[in-house]
Every structure is written in C-alpha cells, then in structure tokens.
Structure 1
Amino acid sequence: MKRPVIYPVFLPQQGCPFRCVYCNQHAVTGLPERAPSDAVTHGVKAVAEHGRRALETGRPGEIAFYGGTFTALDRESLRALLREAASWTDRGAFTGIRFSTRPDALEGDVLDLLAEYPVRTVEIGAQSLDDAVLEASRRGYDAARVTAACRAVREWGRRLGLQLMVGLPTETEDRWRRSVLRVVELAPDFVRLYPTLVLSGTMLARWYRDGRYRPLELEEAVDRCAWAADRFDKAGIAIARMGLHPDPALDAPGAVLSGPRHPAFGHLVRSRQWRRRVDAALERAAARWNGGSQAGQGDAEPSPASLEVHAPPRRLSEVMGPLRSNVSHWKDRWGFRQVWVQEADAFRVRFQ
C-alpha cells in the first residue's frame, strides 16, 4: 500500500482539557509552549507554508493537525485553521484535511461544523479500549465512548484511524489483547501503535520514580505489538506506524526517563512477526521429527539439519531480524546447523 503524503501541523496540548499522565507533547515535538492564540497563529502560518511547498513540488497530500485535541479548540480557532486548510485545498495543494482528537471531543455540534470543510480522515486517540486501563491512565472517558466516536465517524463517511498505546498503567497482556480485539471489531481503516514512554515532566514520571509504575521492557512491547499486528494484518487493517517518530527533542538528556524506546521499533515488531510465523510452521512440522513433540512414535522422521525461509525481497531484512537475530533464534531453538533466507514471490519454509 502506497503511503499517502501528509503535511503535519503540530499544536502541542492545544484544546486538551487536561494533561494525561503520560503526555508531554512539548518533549515529543520539541516545540515551545505557546498561548492558544499564538499556537493558532503559528498553525495558520504552517498550513500556508505547507500549501506553498505542495504546489511548488507538485505533491498534493492531506494537511494534518496533530499534537492536541483538535476538535476541542475554541470555535474561532478551529474555524481559522480549517478555513486556511480549505483555501489551500481549493487551490490543489491539499487533497483534504485530517486531524487527531479525543473520542469525547467528537460530540455535540462539532461534526456539523466539520462538515463545512473538506475533512477526509479522523484519527481518534483511543490509547486503550479497556476501562480499567483508561481509568488508571486518567483519560476521562471509557471504552463505550471510543466505540460511539468511531461509529459517528463511520456514519459521517470519513476515513477512521485509531491510536493505541501499549504498556499503559495497569495494562496486562490479557487486557492489551482484549483491547486489540475490540479495535478489530471496530474495523478502522488504519491504526497507529505507540509504546508508552516515561517522559520528563509527567505524572507517569512521578509514578515511575515512586515505584508505582513499571514501563514495559523493549522485548515485552515488541511481543505485544507483534501479536496485535498479526491480528490487524489478518483483518486487513493498515498499520500506519509503530513507534514514535524520531525527533532530536527525545534525544535530549533527561527527556525520556525509561520505557521501550527504539529508533526502529516498527522494524523490530515486523521482524518478531516473521519469527513467530516461521516458529508456527516449525511447530506444526516438529511432530514428524525425532525429538519433536511426538518423538518416539514409529513414523517419526529425522530432524532436518537446515532451514530455508523464502520471502518477498522487500521483507528479507525483517525475516532475518536485526543483526540476524531471527536466524540465530531458529538455530538455537530448533537445532538447525544452517539457515538461509532467500527471495521468493511468496512466503514458504523448507527443511533439508
């Protein structure tokens, strides 16, 4: 799937009714804290800059408002940003408008207001669909509110995206999985998966220092997201991103106190999916091998000495894993002396 061109405009914390326990948008974006009027003025200028660039390069795309609660902005500010975006859309710079918002900020007359403008995509920052996790994270709404917001966007006829965070307070593996399955039932057009990091200046940072919160280890976060990605892939739900965008602000000393941060988090997740996929094929075959799960039966076959994993060319690095970690895993777990990863039109596993 070809990724759409997106021109982002960041409005850190603008429109947010309060700051969530994990959130420090200024640390994530590297943008200074601004008064609401200054933030809107800056946003309008950013829209115009993107519009001129899109026309100059001949690359139209969606203008996107991120970083705050867009639909909770005061009506004057909201209209000012939408008008500027719509004017450049009319000129062919943008294909439409997209924004991220809270599920409880898509109620009342806001959809009627938005209908006056060329909005194409709505991203809902659900973060979880488990009530206990939402309460512990002090999000201020429950899973039913998320479901209602998704239905409203669907009835409105716009593309729907959902954002999830793995490793929020009180989240267990079971709660994460139930949340993912509820997202699958809602059938958004795409999802984004973000690991929960302990950012300075947040309530979560205080809980972390006090021992009240333990972030996931990188391996835990990768495993949980790989499980989720398998379900989304099977359901035909696109994954727009896994992991935070790289930003120098996050590299500043003390910006990130702890958590499963990695510059190639999405690559780690995709690699883990391939590991699990090959392991599943080997587990099915193990019943036929001496030393497999059915060892000792009369029709057992000798364990193969080598493994060939065939996959599309653009997926080979994911199959091998970072530093060939998947290759090492298959050797260590299954006892193969040789493992080859080769180009093919489709995935398959061969033993010799």
Structure 2
Amino acid sequence: MKSLDPNNLLRTPPSGAGGQVGIYIHIPFCKQACHYCDFHFSTSMWKKEAMVNALCKELELREKEFLGEQVATIYFGGGTPSVLETEEIVRLINTVREHYDVVDIPEITLEANPDDLSEDKILQLAASPINRLSIGIQSFFEEDLKLMNRAHNALEAEKCLTLAREHFNNISIDLIYGMPNMTLDRWKRNIEIALGFGIPHISSYALTVEPKTALAKFVEDGLITPASDEETQEHFNLLNDTLLAAGFDCYEISNFGKPGYYSQNNSAYWQQKKYIGIGPSAHSFDGKQRGWNINNNPKYIKSIEQDIVPMEVEVLSATDKYNEYVMTGLRTIWGVSLSRIATEFGSNYKEYILMQADKFLEEHLLFVDGDILKTTKKGMFLADGIAADLFMLNLK
C-alpha cells in the first residue's frame, strides 16, 4: 500500500473505458451518534457550508478520472445526507452534471432518516433530481430504536413512509435484525409492517458489535447481551423466506429488491464496476487500484481548498482482485464465474477455487450452476466465511 500524488490518481481510463460508472458522495454529518455505528461522521454542523464547497471542488478536481465514461448512478451516503438543505443537494448534483457525462436518467439516491423527512422536505426532494430514497428505518419498534439511539421514533418511521410513498416510487428501507432481546415474533412484525407500505426494496443487516462504538462498550460492561449466532441466522431465514414469498429477489445477501428495483449503485459495487468516492473517508475503485480519502473533516476541507485530493491508494495484485471477486460474487445471485477466473487470473486460480470449494459442495453450502459457483440457500448466510476459505493467500 502506498500514498501517491493525488493530482495524478486514477486519471488514465482503465481498459474497457467507455462503460457506465458511479459517483458516491459522503455527507459526514449526523444529528446524533447511533450506538452501533462506526462510519465516519460528525455531530457538529458548523462546517457544513465549507464541506459542501469542498465536495463540489473535489468533484471538479477529479473530473478527468471519468473521461470517455458515463455516470449512471449518483449516491448520497453518510452520515446522514438528509441533514443537507435540498438546495445543497441540488448544487452537488448540478456540479456532477457540469463536469461529467451523465446518462439521461441516472439513478440518484439519497440516504435519509425519518426525522428529516417532513412533508415539506419530501415535496422539495420530489421536485429535485433525486429519484430514489433509502430510508434508515432500522425498526418499527420503540425499544429497538432507543437501544440503537436513533434520532427518530416509531411514529416518525411510519409517518415518513406514508408521505414518501405518495411522491416516490423507488424507495428502499433499512431494517436491522439480530437485535438483543428481539423475539422472532417482533422481527416478523417488523417485516410485515414494511411490506404493508409496498416498499420495492429492503436492505437488511445483522446488528454487528463494532469496536470502539457505544454498543461495544455496553457489551463489554455486561449491560447488553448480543443475540446468538443461532438467533441471528433464524432472523435471516425468516427474512429471506418472507420476502421471497412476497415477490422480492435476494440479489445480495443483505439486499432484497422486486424486479426492476435492484439498487444500480450497489449492484455496480458487487460487479466490480468503476466508481469514485467524494468526501472524507469515501472510497474509490478503478478496476486496478482502490483509494480512500482522509477521514478527518477539517483536514479534508483544508486539503481540497489547496487543490489536493487527500487520498491514499492501494494498487491491487492479481490475488487481491481474485479475492475481492470471490467475496462479492458469493454474496450475490450472480455468483462466481469459473471461466472468468480462468481467463482473468489463470487456470491455477480456477483449480484452487474448485479444490477449496469441494468440502462446501459436499456439505450443500455451495453448488455449481453451469459455469457459476453459487451459495445454496443454506450457505447464503455463511457466504463471507465460505469466501474466506476460498481466498488465495500465497500468490501475487
């Protein structure tokens, strides 16, 4: 891993240039810190205007990275992007359009929290170029929201969805399972409430105890007992069965969409398409290397003001690329193409993955569908662990 001159980063279009690419814009502000979150954000808003200026300038500084390519997705993540004024969001979108070739109808997603989605805000967003909302519901139950230290309550969760459905067709919500003391009945009710709103996409994640979070401290002090692996898998199985029966596809282990409503932005990540990340802590990928911006707001702003993108870069070896492909592929319905592995990485990689996969094939955790290696329904929940056993560790 090495740090390079940011003004020379990712400027040469990779082989295969001319395709569709994505832009991720990180908004590093939140009203309050959720107990489980380890993403980069600040609860202080006093540098918000300077941050928006810096985000616009970084977009300008990096326009050459997408020469000959079209931007198909713009994704506002965070943090909490919905703390921005609608005018600030539109300014960022307009900056993208001014400096990049954008497809006629790009997918433009805004992550939002229910407490920000007043009727006026929803009307403003509906009149803007935003055409997809990703709403951080997490749970429809007050006890869960309090444990997570969410800024909204259960009533706001349902109210914002009612309003959003009147003005947006393409909506995703986040739900968290594997919560301490969450019964299977309460988890089932969470799913049923979500389905009652006719939402076409649901992203659902197991609660993870990340180091240096408030949740980790609660667990360490014995104030909270995490759900067991068995309980968490039971929650996932219920989620998967219920959503599949309701017409959703589990196109990635944590993402369920009805046909036509898969997240184009997220699907591009899992299929190793090129994207740039704008803002502090944002990551970028061009097929050959990964970069990540500094995760310090004042230092990020100061650097951008000096026309320097504060990015560190790692050039990926063939083994790195193989491991990433296996990890992302096994998490999705697209699986891992054995012929692609042989073509891109060599026959020794194909022989290796088949050898490593043998025990999982025997245990019916993996199967081969034509040329594609996939997880079975039983193996899906274990995809990350299985992928780790298929990683190549000794070749560069």
Q: CA deviation at 1:315?
A: 7.6
SS in 2 for 1:23: coil
Q: CA deviation at 1:34?
A: 11
Q: CA deviation at 1:201?
A: 3.1
After superposition, the Cα gap between the structure-2 partners of 1:121 and 1:41, relative to the gap in structure 1 and judged at 3 Å, is same
Matches within 5 A, 1:64-75: 64-74=75-85
**Given that residues 128 and 165 in structure 1 are in contact (C-alpha distance below 8 angstroms), is that contact kept between their aligned partners in structure 2?**
yes
CA distance in 1, matches of 2:368, 2:203: 25
Percentage of pairs with the same residue: 22
Which letter does structure 1 place at the counterpart of 2:106? T
Match of 2:231 in 1: 220
* Residues 239-291 of structure 1 deviation map (CA, whole Å, 9 limit, x = unaligned): 46445999999xxxxxxxxxxxxx96995899xxxxxxxxxxxxxxxxxxxxx
Structure 1 position 151 matched with structure 2 position 208: no
* Residues 143-199 of structure 1 deviation map (CA, whole Å, 9 limit, x = unaligned): 332222222222113301011111234422222121111112222111111121122
Which letter does structure 1 place at the counterpart of 2:25? V
Which letter does structure 1 place at the counterpart of 2:27? L
Which residue, out of 51, 55, 58, partners 1:43? 55
**Given that residues 367 and 374 in structure 2 are in contact (C-alpha distance below 8 angstroms), is that contact kept between their aligned partners in structure 1?**
no
After superposition, the Cα gap between the structure-2 partners of 1:63 and 1:310, relative to the gap in structure 1 and judged at 3 Å, is closer
Q: CA deviation at 1:230?
A: 1.4
Q: Any unmatched runs of 5+ in structure 1?
A: 28-32, 250-262, 271-306, 326-352
Which stretch shows the higher mean deviation, 190-199 or 35-44?
A: 35-44
SS in 2 for 1:8: strand
Structure 1 position 56 matched with structure 2 position 68: yes
Q: CA deviation at 1:233?
A: 1.5
Structure 1 position 10 matched with structure 2 position 33: no
SS in 1 for 2:144: helix
Match of 1:100 in 2: 111
**Given that residues 54 and 94 in structure 1 are in contact (C-alpha distance below 8 angstroms), is that contact kept between their aligned partners in structure 2?**
no
CA distance in 1, matches of 2:57, 2:252: 27
CA distance in 1, matches of 2:178, 2:199: 21
After superposition, the Cα gap between the structure-2 partners of 1:186 and 1:217, relative to the gap in structure 1 and judged at 3 Å, is same
Aligned residues: 264
Which residue, out of 16, 33, 36, partners 1:19? 33
SS in 2 for 1:199: coil
Structure 1 position 129 matched with structure 2 position 186: no
Which letter does structure 2 place at the counterpart of 1:226? N
SS in 1 for 2:226: coil
After superposition, the Cα gap between the structure-2 partners of 1:322 and 1:138, relative to the gap in structure 1 and judged at 3 Å, is closer
**Given that residues 191 and 240 in structure 1 are in contact (C-alpha distance below 8 angstroms), is that contact kept between their aligned partners in structure 2?**
no
After superposition, the Cα gap between the structure-2 partners of 1:113 and 1:199, relative to the gap in structure 1 and judged at 3 Å, is same
Match of 1:279 in 2: none
**Given that residues 140 and 157 in structure 2 are in contact (C-alpha distance below 8 angstroms), is that contact kept between their aligned partners in structure 1?**
yes
**Given that residues 171 and 200 in structure 2 are in contact (C-alpha distance below 8 angstroms), is that contact kept between their aligned partners in structure 1?**
yes
Which residue, out of 182, 197, 205, partners 1:194? 205
CA distance in 2, matches of 1:145, 1:240: 29
Match of 1:81 in 2: 92
Q: Any unmatched runs of 5+ in structure 2?
A: 1-19, 256-268, 271-282, 284-289, 292-325, 334-363, 383-396
CA distance in 2, matches of 1:223, 1:315: 27
**Given that residues 124 and 161 in structure 1 are in contact (C-alpha distance below 8 angstroms), is that contact kept between their aligned partners in structure 2?**
yes
Match of 2:386 in 1: none
Question: For the aligned residues, what is the CA RMSD?
Answer: 4.1
CA distance in 2, matches of 1:214, 1:239: 29
Runs of 4+ in 1 over 4 A off after TM superposition: 45-55, 85-91, 238-241, 243-249, 263-270, 309-316, 320-323
Match of 2:275 in 1: none
After superposition, the Cα gap between the structure-2 partners of 1:136 and 1:84, relative to the gap in structure 1 and judged at 3 Å, is same
SS in 2 for 1:220: helix
**Given that residues 69 and 105 in structure 1 are in contact (C-alpha distance below 8 angstroms), is that contact kept between their aligned partners in structure 2?**
no
After superposition, the Cα gap between the structure-2 partners of 1:80 and 1:203, relative to the gap in structure 1 and judged at 3 Å, is same
Q: TM-score when scaled to structure 1?
A: 0.61
CA distance in 2, matches of 1:266, 1:146: 33
After superposition, the Cα gap between the structure-2 partners of 1:178 and 1:223, relative to the gap in structure 1 and judged at 3 Å, is same
Which letter does structure 1 place at the counterpart of 2:40? H
SS in 2 for 1:163: strand
After superposition, the Cα gap between the structure-2 partners of 1:209 and 1:34, relative to the gap in structure 1 and judged at 3 Å, is farther
CA distance in 1, matches of 2:173, 2:371: 27
Q: CA deviation at 1:232?
A: 1.1
Matches within 5 A, 1:1-352: 6-12=22-28, 14=29, 16-26=30-40, 35-45=47-57, 47=59, 56-58=68-70, 60-74=71-85, 77-85=88-96, 87=98, 91-92=102-103, 95-239=106-250, 241-243=252-254, 313=370, 317-319=374-376
After superposition, the Cα gap between the structure-2 partners of 1:187 and 1:147, relative to the gap in structure 1 and judged at 3 Å, is same
Which letter does structure 2 place at the counterpart of 1:205? A
